[in-house]
Amino acid sequence: MIFWFKPIRWILFGIVLLCLVHEARGLDPNRLPSQYVREEWIRASRFPGGAVNTIGQTADGYLWIGTDKGLIRFDGFNFKFVSFTSDTTASKVPILLLLVDAAGKLWLRPQGTDVLRQVDGKFENVTYGAEALTSQITAVSKDSNGGVLLSDIAKGTFRFKGDEIQRLAAPTVLPGSSPVISMAETAEGKIWMGTLGAGLFLFADGRAGKIDAGLPDRKINCLLPISNEELWVGTDTGLYHGNDKGLRRAELPSSLGSVQVLSMLRDRDSNIWVGTTRGLLRINAKGTSFSEENELRGDGGINVLFEDREGNLWIGGARGLGRIRDSAFVTYSSVSDRRFEHNGPVYVDPEGRTWLAPAQGGLYVLQNGRVQPVTSAIPANEVVYSIRGRGDEVWAGRQRGGLTRLQFRNGAIGSQSYTVANGLAHSSYLELTGKPVKCSFLVDLHRTTVVKPYLQPEIEQTNKESDNEKLTSDVPRRNPERTRRLPAGFRQNTSDISIFIQDSDSEGQESFETGIFEYTSPPFSESRRKEINGLLEKEVFEVIDIATIPGGVRIFNSRCVDEIKNPGTDKAFEKSRPVVQAYNDQGKIWS
């Protein structure tokens, strides 16, 4: 958490602390990098420092940022240049590295000057004996216990722990004259050293051994020990991981090629973040994700990665500073994918997969932050009305294709569809929810109420007809075929639904698996059903199967007029009246 100075901000900070007393967590490993909340400071008006090389946080909550233009302190609202010498101009030099040791002291490695350490608010030169540690230092890092490791070309490798100084190795311990540019210590006390041109070395028991099996690159930019048996290595030609017995190239997106790796970090949720010249990588048990970070890196790269004590990830790039953090909700924006502009049914199965069907059509499954179309089971233009499931099965009620059962098997999606040909009453299914039961009967998805106003044929007299030659009125005139649809009022309001699934257990014998489903009825659904049932009992309407309607019959649209009677009183109730479209009734027979 960043602290602020102004009194009102201290009050706000106190309120936030009262609300956030739980343990801070890292970034959710199940989200794509694009699904985190992001903030960037890249313009001169917002961030004055230019390229960011290094980041750290002191115990007082300040964020310290080493840039090409000097040292900057960030309090959560404002960026402020901090001078580390009495000469302000001399402080406007690139800060190559900074870190905070176990005692909370800030260490700086400015370009071309001595290594500095902040003591009691002031910066002082770090000395070894009577001599200052000059700019011959090529690498500085924290050890496994919060101490500081330094590598000096002329004097060797040192460990600083509080006021204690220990020389670990002489300059000649490493073969050749290539300087150490990266260091990292394991929990066992072994120190990995990466050089500018001589490769990778492991220092232990006063000796350094070269590790080059499987590692062709000799320039080692960064090191990340995961355990005593696992090390990640960033080079100019890619990312490697392994141990002292050998390393192998990490599998990255093929589009990156032999990308230059500049920085690495492992957060508290075991995500491994990798900063490259092409963007930001996240590697975890779910796989590898990538984001280009064009705004931050510009023509450069991701120079530094840092996790603050709240679990936020800070990114330093060639153009400025960025922060990535979690949020309470994940937004799957339709801006980049027009398939999801309009919402449809959503179902989350027991394995955490999210099944969704946009109003435009098609079925998709969201798993590990990736959306996969299920085109093998349901066409992209087929509208799915409802998605439900049980166990490892997922059922989809479709506009035209009946019911489809989907199952995950070994990472693949298997499916089977049931339509009228399999015994379903209809091929359109609106709502599926609830628990399965065994039975051997079929209940239709909905009642199809059809008002049948048959057209009586006109009787035409011609000179060729006799008085007894008249067209019979028993046969209705055939009208052009029309696409039949359910009345609009009944396409969205269904309260008790059963599905019918037929499987063949053996020849000549069938078993029936039916799910009885219930859901909270929409407004006026009960009053509509009561009104329709009353009309059916009075034989005003006749319930028929739409498949049995003869050709040429005109089906009129219908709707319900809904209103609240006695509104605002304790006697208020819903009232519905069905209205059938019936303009120009002349010549129509009602039955």
391 inside domain: yes
Give me the mean pLDDT over the 486-509 stretch.
Answer: 37
* β 127-128/122-125 pair status: unpaired
Check: CB of residue 313 under 8 Å from CB of residue 27: yes
Average pLDDT over residues 299-328: 92
Query: Looking at residue 453, what is its pLDDT?
Result: 36
382 backbone dihedrals φ, ψ, rounded to 5° = -90, 125
DSSP string, 336-377: S-GGGSS---EEE-TTS-EEE--TTS--EEEETTEEEE-TTT
Mean pLDDT of 283-304: 90
Tell me if 423 is assigned to some domain: yes
What percent of the chain is modeled with pLDDT above 90?
33
Region 87-92 average pLDDT: 75
Q: Has residue 152 got a pLDDT over 80? A: yes
Contact 365, 377 (CB under 8 A): no
pLDDT of residue 513: 40
What integer best gives the mean pLDDT of the chain?
Answer: 76
pLDDT at 471: 39
548-587 tens-digit pLDDT: 777 777 777 777 888 888 887 878 888 888 877 655 555 4
Q: Please return the burial class of 66, using the count of CB atoms within 10 Å of its CB with bins 0-12, 13-18 and 19+.
A: buried
Q: Where are the beta strands (DSSP E) in 461-523?
A: 496-506, 509-518
Residue 144 has pLDDT above 60, yes or no: yes
The predicted pLDDT at position 95 comes to 94
Distance between CA atoms of 549 and 571, rounded to whole angstroms? 42
φ and ψ of 422, to 5 deg: -95, 5
Tell me which of 428 and 247 has the higher pLDDT.
247
Question: Using CA atoms in the order 121, 125, 129, 133, what is the torsion angle rounded to 10 degrees?
Answer: 140
Ramachandran assignment for 367, one of left (phi > 0), alpha (psi -120 to 50 degrees), beta (any other): beta
Written as one letter, the residue type at 266 is R
Residue type, 64: W
What is the enclosing helix (H) or strand (E) of 81?
strand 79-82
pTM: 0.59
Contact 319, 295 (CB under 8 A): yes
Asked whether residue 187 is assigned to any structural domain, the reply reads no
Residue type at position 564: I
State the maximum Cα–Cα separation within the chain, in Å, rounded to a whole number.
134
Has residue 494 been placed in a domain?
no
**pLDDT tens string 380-415:** 888 888 898 888 889 998 888 888 999 888 778 889
Tell me how far apart the alpha carbons of residues 301 and 520 are, in angstroms, rounded to a whole number. 54
Q: What angle do CA 317, 262, 187 make, to 5 degrees?
A: 120
Domain assignment present for 420: yes
CA 137 to CA 404: how far, in whole Å?
Answer: 67
Instruction: Name every residue whose Cβ is closer than 8 Å to that of residue 122 and which is 6 or more positions away in sequence.
Output: none
Domain count, the chain: 1
Domain-embedded: residue 292: no
What is the pLDDT at residue 287?
A: 87
Give the confidence band of 419 by pLDDT, cuts at 50, 70, 90.
confident
- Residue 400 falls within a domain, yes or no? yes
Model confidence at 357: pLDDT above 50: yes
Residue 397 makes CB contacts below 8 A (sequence gap 6+) with 384, 385, 386, 387, 403, 429, 430, 431, 432, 499
Q: Determine, yes or no, domain membership for 401.
A: yes
Q: Quote the domain boundaries for residue 390.
A: 339-429
Percent of the chain's residues with pLDDT above 70:
71
Question: Contact 382/401 with Cβ under 8 angstroms?
Answer: yes
| pLDDT value, residue 65 | 97
